[in-house]
Structure 1
Amino acid sequence: MTTINTHYRLSHKIEDEAFALSQAPYCNLYISLSLKAIRFAVADTVRNKFVVLEDYELITVFTPLQMAEQLRLIAEENPLLQEKHWNVVRASFSNQHFTLVPETLYDPAHQQDYLRLHSELNALQDVVLSYRHSGLEAVNIFSVDATAYQALQEIFPRQRVQVVHQTSALIRSILHHTDHSPGRQMNIFVERNYVTILVVNQSGLEFCNIFQYQSPEDFIYFIVFVMQEQKLNPEQETLVVWGDITHDSALFHILQKYIRQVKLGKKPADIEYSYKFHDLFEHRYFELYSLHLCE
């Protein structure tokens, strides 16, 4: 029998004293999945408040199969994943396999064909899904690893799990909270070795892509390159930053070196947060909170 080793550690946990699993039918469970972390949050829909957050760091995990194995191991001991009566379960996947297609051109029968223009697909290893952005009149077509997708179905066998691409959660949240001032705004969401870049204006989304970086120099190259391509001036524009980055990190320092105005973003404002969340940096866990704005 093959034994799966544990390659995760719980790096952060918050739980409001007023929360109990018996409240699950009135709460939403949000799950964020990547090769670097598996994160959970619970939102109480009656009080419109986040009440639980758990952050599991993945260690020496390099493939979606390994990530799925760790998800199953966490589920064996985590009460949130053993509870089967949530109001909504919504999960996001972080990967580079996505494309946005205008709704007027979208044909569900050809969603694999759309995605093949941007990503290599393996019929045995990938599940192709889609998410409709009603405000954008666009459809996000994406693929997720079949083993990770199956793991979610096994953990919640009697409940539908809504699966979205992480970019959809970011797009929904950033468009919802973008200042209604004229002009364009560039936003980045930082993960370890990946950065998602989004450019928005009053009318909606102009640009969205994910870049893989290995060093601070790679990181800033992609950001400045996109600014140049989008005709945004690093001397004049304000760059808004979310994600796994700190103000004293090498990534933040190189941002400040090349871009005059850099500010850390804030968490979504249309929902409240338990007082226990107040010690967290506002720009952290944005991808998890943003799942609350998906439908």
Structure 2
Amino acid sequence: MNTINTHYRLSHKIEDEAFSLSQAPYCNLYLSLSQKAIRLAVVDTVRNKFVVLEDYELITIFTPLQVAEQLRLIAAENLLFQEQHWNTVRVSFSNLHFTLVPETLYDPTHKEDYLRLHSELNPLQDVVLSYRHGGLEALNIFSVDVASYEALQELFPRQPVQIVHQTSSLIRSVLHHTDRTAVRNMNIFVERNYVTILVVSQNGLEFCNVFQYQSPEDFIYYIIFVMQEQKLNPEQETLTAWGDITHDSSLFNILQKYVRHIKLGKKPADVEYSYKFHDMFEHRYFELYSLHLCE
């Protein structure tokens, strides 16, 4: 008897009528996992076009084990998870457990040691993985919870699942689409209770970190703190925001009080989107779209 309760709701769904599961061998399936949401998208690689997006909001979820349980429940009712012939399955995890290590200093036998400098690791609950950023000549060392990791292996037993930390997909996308000018700029990706901050210049990535916030005051504190540390002037610099933030939200309101120039980011431009995506805010689901730029 299944005693696991359903703690999710489908908050948004888009599906191009031209898509069918028979096209899976020519499509990529992308998933983004966090404690607040499970999101998925499908890209038709022949047309280089996003054709499906589904957003499942997680409700009263507090542990990684609960996220894994909800993932299994969603998969049991979703044909996209039951399809086993995708061209690529790529998954991003959102958490605080990551570190960037220069490639010249990286020793794969010590990847757990690199991460222990920044995060507490439990060998029974965490799986340590890595992702190479060729353009940065660095590796992102990160951990994912073993419950979700094993769930993914069970859901896709016939093909390898590429797993990345969410910061990697954001870094790839921001670097790819930011004008390489002499001006340094700040970019933020907003989630419920988390904000990822990236500072980019003509030399590439200069800063990347994820902060956990509980209130708008916490949120703005971290942004101003990083601007001060990075010597960015809130009166002069333009801050670009993506993610779960809107013009009428409390986060945007407090941001306007402290940062003069704010703009909402756009979808990655090197891929097409079904016309059904056109009614959505451009800055939403950036983490999902950005998975298309990972390799």
- Give the TM-score band, short-chain normalised: over 0.9
CA distance in 2, matches of 1:47, 1:36: 31
Deviation of residue 182 (structure 1)? 1.8
Deviation of residue 179 (structure 1)? 1.1
Corresponding residue for residue 77 of structure 1? 77
CA distance in 1, matches of 2:158, 2:203: 40
CA distance in 1, matches of 2:180, 2:116: 36
CA distance in 1, matches of 2:148, 2:115: 19
Higher deviation after alignment, 267-276 or 174-183: 174-183
CA distance in 1, matches of 2:40, 2:140: 23
Deviation of residue 200 (structure 1)? 0.6
Deviation of residue 181 (structure 1)? 2.3
Corresponding residue for residue 151 of structure 2? 151
Deviation of residue 189 (structure 1)? 0.3
CA distance in 1, matches of 2:134, 2:204: 11
Deviation of residue 178 (structure 1)? 0.4
3-state SS of the aligned residue for 1:211? strand
CA deviations on 1:230-282 (whole Å, 9 max, x unpaired) are 00000000000000011100000111110000000001000000000000100
CA deviations on 1:40-94 (whole Å, 9 max, x unpaired) are 0000000000000000000000110000000000000001100000000000000
Corresponding residue for residue 110 of structure 1? 110
CA distance in 2, matches of 1:43, 1:218: 36
3-state SS of the aligned residue for 1:70? helix
Corresponding residue for residue 215 of structure 1? 215
Corresponding residue for residue 234 of structure 2? 234
With normalisation by structure 1, the TM-score equals 0.99
CA deviations on 1:8-32 (whole Å, 9 max, x unpaired) are 0000000001000000000000000
Corresponding residue for residue 64 of structure 2? 64
3-state SS of the aligned residue for 1:231? coil
Deviation of residue 116 (structure 1)? 0.2
Higher deviation after alignment, 196-205 or 283-292: 196-205
CA distance in 2, matches of 1:261, 1:213: 22
Number of residues of Structure 1 aligned to a counterpart in Structure 2: 295
Q: Which runs of 5+ in 2 are unaligned?
A: none
Q: Percent identity between the aligned chains? A: 83
C-alpha RMSD of matched pairs (Å): 0.6
Deviation of residue 180 (structure 1)? 2.3
The ranges of structure 1 where at least 4 consecutive aligned residues each deviate by more than 4 angstroms after the TM superposition are: none
Q: Which runs of 5+ in 1 are unaligned?
A: none
CA distance in 2, matches of 1:28, 1:182: 36
With normalisation by structure 2, the TM-score equals 0.99
1:215-294 equivalences in 2 (<5 Å)? 215-294=215-294
CA distance in 2, matches of 1:82, 1:279: 29
Corresponding residue for residue 174 of structure 1? 174
Corresponding residue for residue 192 of structure 2? 192
CA distance in 1, matches of 2:280, 2:202: 30
Deviation of residue 96 (structure 1)? 0.1
Corresponding residue for residue 136 of structure 1? 136
Deviation of residue 2 (structure 1)? 5.3
Corresponding residue for residue 47 of structure 1? 47
Corresponding residue for residue 4 of structure 2? 4
Corresponding residue for residue 27 of structure 2? 27
CA deviations on 1:93-144 (whole Å, 9 max, x unpaired) are 0000000000000000000000000000000000000000000000000000
3-state SS of the aligned residue for 1:159? coil
Deviation of residue 3 (structure 1)? 0.7
CA deviations on 1:191-234 (whole Å, 9 max, x unpaired) are 00000000011111100001111110000000000000000000
